[in-house]
């Protein structure tokens, strides 16, 4: 066995030159330390952009904790850091060729950027209540608003109501609104989801990002079931998120999901996303208490989140 040969500047020499050793350690720590590169208080939340090495994150800061909303690799823009973002694209297995999409909740714009790259002809209405988040997404996370990807600074529920009055229809609706703790309660209710259902085309798909550990898990599951019927429930090992995939007109079988995954494989390859691995994880049977009360405009107990 070949013995490992220590470099000439060994640990013994660190003891002889303590100031030099300390300087080298501080330099190494500084190179890896997290830096705050932007911070502001908007009308709705505290917004922080942090950077550590190549990882840049958007954080919505709240009193009890801080949660990363978006993270990117500044050296590799195609790298999808969060597993839930990858999971969100599983909704395309139910409708692989959307022409018009609605996305409520912007974050850093990662999901919409990928959709725009994969579907150049896709029209996206991107809804974000906070203009400050839009500004940060453009300046720090590479989001670009285009003729086909339009940002609307509005409350998601207000936009949905107005879209219904205009007769808008969408093949894909992504619900990813986030306050810093959880989904705004007025966008979890049966009444809101019924409006979303009315916006769907006959082949339309709803994709919702939620948390597996939320105390509202049973309630929100029952609510989605009452509006959309059975849905696909996606949870992956190591992720605290679960993604709901609901449809307007019945769920595709696994054979169809697998076929669509194969068809989309080359489009998602640059992002290292393997849609095929989601197919066996898209569960159809309830893993929640089906006797729980649905969330409504009169019953949306956000206080249950304290037990999350």
- Tell me the catalytic residues: 176
Encoded tokens for 137 = 């997404």
The pairing of beta strand 170-175 with beta strand 100-104: parallel
Contact 51, 38 (CB under 8 A): no
Neighbours of 46 (CB within 10 A): 15
As a whole number of angstroms, the distance between CA 149 and CA 253 comes to: 31
Tokens of 294: 């649905």
Cα 58 from Cα 174, distance rounded (Å): 19
Give dist(CA 32, CA 304) in Å, integer. 38
Q: How many CB atoms lie within 10 A of CB 55?
A: 16
Altogether, the residues listed in the chain come to a count of 308
Other beta carbons within 10 Å of 45: 20
- Angstrom distance (rounded) from CA 296 to CA 188: 8
| Residue where the block lists tokens 């823009």 | 77
**Contact indicator for 271, 78 with CB cutoff of 8 Å:** yes
CA dihedral 208, 209, 213, 218 (to 10 degrees): 0
């Amino acid at each position: 066995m070949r013995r490992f040969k220590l470099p000439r500047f060994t640990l013994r020499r660190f003891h002889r030159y303590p100031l030099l050793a300390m300087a080298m350690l501080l330099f190494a720590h500084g190179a890896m330390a997290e830096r705050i590169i932007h911070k502001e208080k908007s009308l709705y939340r505290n917004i922080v952009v942090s950077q550590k090495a190549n990882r840049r994150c958007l954080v919505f800061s709240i009193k009890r904790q801080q949660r990363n909303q978006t993270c990117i690799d500044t050296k590799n823009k195609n790298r999808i850091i969060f597993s839930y973002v990858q999971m969100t694209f599983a909704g395309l297995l139910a409708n692989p060729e959307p022409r018009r999409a609605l996305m409520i909740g912007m974050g850093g714009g990662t999901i919409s950027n990928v959709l725009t790259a994969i579907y150049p002809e896709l029209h996206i209405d991107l809804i974000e209540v906070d203009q400050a988040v839009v500004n940060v997404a453009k300046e720090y996370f590479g989001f670009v608003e285009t003729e086909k990807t339009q940002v609307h600074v509005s409350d998601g529920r207000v936009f949905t109501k107005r879209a219904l009055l205009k007769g808008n229809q969408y093949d894909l609706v992504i619900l990813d609104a986030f306050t810093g703790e959880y989904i705004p309660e007025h966008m979890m209710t049966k009444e809101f989801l019924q409006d979303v259902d009315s916006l769907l085309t006959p082949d339309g798909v709803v994709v919702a990002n939620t948390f597996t550990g939320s105390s509202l898990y049973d309630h929100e599951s029952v609510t989605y079931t009452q509006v959309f019927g059975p849905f696909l429930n996606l949870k992956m090992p190591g992720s605290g998120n679960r993604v709901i995939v609901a449809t307007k007109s019945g769920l595709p079988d696994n054979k169809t999901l697998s076929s669509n995954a194969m068809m989309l494989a080359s489009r998602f390859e640059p992002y290292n996303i393997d849609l095929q691995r989601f197919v066996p994880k898209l569960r159809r049977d309830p893993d929640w208490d089906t006797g729980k009360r649905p969330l409504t405009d009169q019953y949306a107990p956000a206080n249950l989140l304290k037990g999350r």
